[in-house]
Amino acid sequence: MQLPILVEKFQQKDTIAFEALYNMYGKSIHGVIYNIVRDYAVADDILQDVFVKVWNNSSNYSTEKGRFFTWLLTIARKAALDKIHSKTINPSEHNLNKQCFADIIETNEFLNTENDGLDIKVFVSKLANSCIDVIELIYFKGYNQKETSESLDMPISTIKTRNRNCMMQLRLMLNI
């Protein structure tokens, strides 16, 4: 079944479509969550919460706003970051590097096809190392700008500027 039809059925509360989307994206989303929280049990709980939230708020998704996977990924990332910022998990002790994140995304067959895919590794690797360092800490490890500033031993104003400029470069690459 094509992804747009699957998503439409999902939005109509079709449990078979839910199961298909879970099977399609569950492992990748779990990998992204795990990459942030670094605890399988916590990642399992967050994944379940994310899919329940997506199911309950499926009417909020619109193809005009972006891809389904991107919407799902955004919700999962926010949930994982909320968990580590709740002080129950220390992000500086529980994260992998950018290569591990890229490998999680790259290994899922659904993320490198025209279905709904993106290969984060390709886009991030095209950036300067200074951008990769900032993006790794802020977006993949869940650091805030102050923590990133301290970790990279740079003024926070430099981190803010670099983050903004790097994200603009990614948006240009992705045409968004």
What number is the average pLDDT over the span 155-160?
A: 92
Contact between 33 and 46 (Cβ < 8 Å): yes
pTM, entire model: 0.57
Asked if residue 30 belongs to a domain, the reply is: yes
97 pLDDT tier (thresholds 50, 70, 90): very low
CATH at residue 50: 1.10.1740.10
Instruction: Provide, rounded to the nearest whole percent, the portion of the chain with pLDDT above 90.
Output: 35
Task: Please choose, from the candidates 18, 22, 176, 36, the residue with its C-alpha nearest in 3D space to the C-alpha of residue 104.
Answer: 36
Asked if residue 74 belongs to a domain, the reply is: yes
176 pLDDT tier (thresholds 50, 70, 90): low
Domain tally, the chain: 1
Check residue 50 and give its pLDDT: 96
Asked if residue 172 belongs to a domain, the reply is: no
Domain that holds residue 83: 3-96
Check residue 111 and give its pLDDT: 40
What number is the average pLDDT over the span 129-150?
A: 83
Asked if residue 156 belongs to a domain, the reply is: no
Taking each continuous run of H as one helix and of E as one strand, the counts in the chain are: 9, 0
Asked if residue 86 belongs to a domain, the reply is: yes
Check residue 86 and give its pLDDT: 76
Check residue 136 and give its pLDDT: 80
Q: pLDDT (tens digit, 9 = 90+) per residue, 35-52?
A: 888 889 999 999 999 999
Residues 6+ apart with CB under 8 A from 145: 138, 156, 159, 160, 163
CA distances from 53 to 25, 48, 69, 78, 79 (A): 15, 9, 14, 12, 10
Asked if residue 105 belongs to a domain, the reply is: no
Q: Is pLDDT at 99 greater than 70 in this prediction?
A: no
